[in-house]
Each structure stands twice: as structure tokens, then as C-alpha cells.
Structure 1
Amino acid sequence: MRRILAIGGGGFTTEKEPSLVDAYIHRLIDKPRPRICFVATPSGDNRAQIDKFYEAYGSLDCEVSNLPFFNGWGPNVIPYTDFKPHLLSQDAIFVGGGHLRSALAVWREWGLDVAMKEAWNRGVLLAGMSAGAMCWFETALGGPFEQGNYGVQRGLGLLPGACAAHYHNAHVSERRVNLLAEMHRGLIPSTLAIDDFAAVLFEDQQLVKTVSWASTSTAYRVRQQNGCVEEAPLTAVPLQESLIV
């Protein structure tokens, strides 16, 4: 089964305590000592982000590695000159947050976009937060966020439609405001908008589950209908319930 977990925000890169969403990814893989590779290209292979990945998934008893294109930091680094066999042998690939446009350009230059698609078709779980959530869609809405320029980008196209992350974020409220304004002007397509502390699971391109680990977080179908922009919230399952054996 081809599966993708798109996380609006949260997880090991931003939460101080072990996150339920990282435990959820481990549960989705559902095997002893799963192999998971971290791709931190959107952050320019930020060392702190890579360290947090190793700490979080190492503590979950995963066999961890990372694929860097800029900074070869990490105890189990995969060479960018020969990454495809490694990726195809993984149980999961996790893409971190950061600058999506730059990451997409690097991936296409090195052929990682093709390898990601092949891994997905072979049943490797693809997951990611923020840029790592939006990248899988046909259209990604990843900044800058000034009015008239919402950063519409061509994603990897594994999932149909458009995606936006950090939707209801009190610290960056202009994300939602500008998305709604630009959609009303007809400049942005219908979008799956995901809050911080929420994630959406796809199986074979079908949205099958929305989960959250904060009481007010969920995902929304945002679209223009009859001249108005509608925000339809999806029913989110509390992640604590999804982790019950």
C-alpha cells in the first residue's frame, strides 16, 4: 500500500518532549526496529534538526540514517552519489521542514524526486512536517506570504491538489489570511490546509484519516464555492486513541 503522512507542524523538530506523532509513525510502520531515513534538505541539512531526528527515532528503537546534500552530518550518513538503493530498502522516509522551493530544486537536480516516487510505489511510508508535508502534493503553498505572492510551487505530484501547512498558527497568522484572500481572487486552487499538531494520512492517494494531538488542531478543505471561500474542517481522531493497542 502506498502511504503518505502529511504533518502540518510539530514533532521532533519543534516539540521539547517526545511527540505523539513520531510514535504514530513508528506504529504505522508496525515492525520491530524499522529503518527510517531523514531527508533534511529543506533546512539545508541543519545539524540541530538532524540531531533531534536521531534522538527521537533512536529512542523509538528505529534503525536511523540521513541523506544530506549540503552538510554530511550524522552517525549514519547516506552518500548522495548512491542514495537510491538505500531509500528503496527503507521502511519510512521522513522529510523535515524549511525552504521547500530550494529543496525541490535540489531533489530534481539529483533525481531524488524519481527515487521518492519509486520508494512510495514499493510501499515505503513517506512522511514529513511543514515543507516535508507539502512537497508530496501537485501544488505546494510554501511562502513567501506577502499578499499577491503565496509561493505557489509545483510539488512532487504524488498526491492530487494543493497543500498548506501551519494553517492556524498564532505566530504567523498571515498564512491563513493571505491564503483565503488569494483563493477568493482565484489565484490559489482548492487546498488541504493542515494545522500545527495535526496530520493527515493518505493511502493510495485517498485521505483516510486525520489525527491531532492538540484539542483545537485539525485539517481543512479550503475551496472557493459560489463566489465564497469555504473552510470545511475534517474530523480529527485524537492521536492518543490511535496509539492504543
Structure 2
Amino acid sequence: METTRRPHPARGTIVTLGGGGFSDSADGRSLLDDHLLELTGVTSPAVCFVPTASGDAVGYGERFEQGFAGRARTSVLSLFGQAPWGYTDPAMLLEQDLVYVGGGSTANLLAVWRHHGLPDILRRAAEQGTVLAGISAGMNCWFEASSTDSYGPLAPLSDGLGFLPGAACPHLLGEEGRRDSLRRWVAAGDLPTTHAADDHVAFVWRDGALVEAVGEVDNGLALRVERVGDRAVEHEIPVRRLR
């Protein structure tokens, strides 16, 4: 598959969630989401949810709106033109304080985004101060490569925006086979050095460098997995518990 990776990481702040957030909370509230709002530095930030990876599932967008109601000015970018939002020029992302990308199919997300010009728009948004964030597929998309189930069984995907270096693996312990398959692929060279996050854990990046890992539960797991010889070596990254 031909890729459109960029040679340099994006400037700005990107937060990659392995799982959790509003979509995995009974009341739609989440400490990880609270942290995203704090990172904008704005009292009532403009926050746009981008549910492309789910085919713009209406329920997903509505759950976002409910979870952020009363604490942000919300919008949903529907590239499929789904009601009640309809199609909007993706350039509206340049007016946001936070862009929050939902989960689903990483491969489909990347294909649709490229047709609509989102990679360039999002890079510009990050450079001018918009916080970029995403969960699951919305974590994978920012990296050069990822662990994905876009084609059914888990598989390495050597494609991504390249805003962040290396590869991503969400749902590290939350989905069967994620950790074991990641070890195999890194050991075989099918994936480069990979940052893996369990559900309810996120990495915070600035200008392409890792700042910290944060979590909304106790004992959240975050790893950097690299190839040493013919082995995959795991390095645990401390996770700061959000309160």
C-alpha cells in the first residue's frame, strides 16, 4: 500500500488514548477527557469530534455531545454527511481548540481523510495551537504504523499520517491478542518501535516527543516496545494517575 507519511513529526500537542474516555463511561464523563480540555488552556473550548473511523455513527457523535455538554462548544465533523450534522468543510478544524478523533477502522479513516484533505488541515491546526487527540483508531492514525483490526484479525498496518514517530498499539490488555501479536511484529521488524497503551491510559506528546503517560484508573499500563536483535523488549512507562 502506498503511504503518504511525512518525514518530520508535527509541531504541537497530540494526545493518544488507548481506550476509555466518554465512550467508555456510564455518564459520559472521563478524567482523560477532562485533561484534554485542560490542555487547551481555554475556559470554554471549541471541541470537534471526528467519528470517521466508525462511518460517522450517529450514536457515537451524540454520546460525545452529551459527554461534553455544558463545558465546551461542541461540533461534529461528518465526512459522510450524516444527519443531524451534514457535511461541513473540514477547514472548520482550524477554528477548534481541540479535535477529538473517535475509534473504529484505522484503514478506512486514513483513506477517507486523505480524499478530503484532512492531513494537511490537521497539521496546520496543530501548528497553530489546536490540541489533537484520539482513541483507538484515533490513536493509531497519528503514527507511522499501528496494530489494527481494520481487516478483521489483528494485523500490522504500515501506514499512518506520521505526525508521531514509530507505531501505536491501543487496547494493550483490553483486547485479546494485542500484547502477544505486538511482541511478534516488533521482533520480526513488521512494526517499528511501538508505544502501547491499555484502556484508560493516554500518551501526551509535544512536537513529536513524549511528555508523559496519564491514566484515569489505578495501575494503568503504558509500554514502549522496541526490537533488540531478534527480540521485542518492553519498557514500562510510568503513568501519572489523574484525579
| TM-score, length of structure 1 as denominator length | 0.89
Of the structure 1 ranges 150-159 and 110-119, higher mean CA displacement relative to structure 2 is found in 150-159
Per-residue CA deviations over 1:4-63 (Å, capped at 9, x if unaligned) read 00000001112213211111111111212110111000000111110110011114x200
Q: Is the 8 A contact 2:58 2:82 kept in 1?
A: no
- Report the CA distance between 1:2 and its aligned residue: 0.6
Letter in 2 for 1:21: L
Does 1:99 find its partner at 2:110? no
Match of 2:82 among 66, 72, 76: 72
Letter in 2 for 1:79: Y
Q: Is the 8 A contact 2:146 2:159 kept in 1?
A: yes
- Report the CA distance between 1:107 and its aligned residue: 0.5
RMSD, aligned α-carbons: 1.6
Work out the CA distance in 2 between the residues paired with 1:107 and 1:191.
23
Give the % identical residues.
Answer: 33
Q: Is the 8 A contact 1:192 1:221 kept in 2?
A: yes
Q: After TM superposition, which residue ranges in structure 1, 4 or more long, deviate above 4 angstroms?
A: none
Q: Is the 8 A contact 1:198 1:213 kept in 2?
A: yes
Work out the CA distance in 2 between the residues paired with 1:145 and 1:190.
23
Quote the residue 1:57 is aligned against: 68
Query: Residues 163 and 224 (structure 1 numbering): CA distance in 2 closer, same or farther, change over 3 Å?
Result: same
Quote the residue 1:88 is aligned against: 94
Quote the residue 2:197 is aligned against: 194
Work out the CA distance in 2 between the residues paired with 1:32 and 1:215.
28
User: Which SS does the other structure have where 1:141 is aligned?
Assistant: strand
Q: Is the 8 A contact 2:197 2:222 kept in 1?
A: yes
Match of 1:131 among 110, 132, 137: 137
Q: Is the 8 A contact 1:96 1:130 kept in 2?
A: yes
- Segments of 5+ residues of structure 1 without an aligned counterpart are 241-245
- Report the CA distance between 1:78 and its aligned residue: 6.6
- Report the CA distance between 1:145 and its aligned residue: 6.7
Does 1:164 find its partner at 2:175? no
Per-residue CA deviations over 1:104-139 (Å, capped at 9, x if unaligned) read 100001111111111111111001111111111111
| TM-score, length of structure 2 as denominator length | 0.90
Q: Choose between structure 1 and 2 for higher RCO, CA contacts under 8 A separated by at least 6 residues.
A: 2
Letter in 2 for 1:70: F
Work out the CA distance in 2 between the residues paired with 1:219 and 1:183.
16
Per-residue CA deviations over 1:131-155 (Å, capped at 9, x if unaligned) read 1111111112212474xx6141411
- Segments of 5+ residues of structure 2 without an aligned counterpart are 1-10
Work out the CA distance in 1 between the residues paired with 2:172 and 2:143.
16
Match of 2:125 among 119, 133, 139: 119
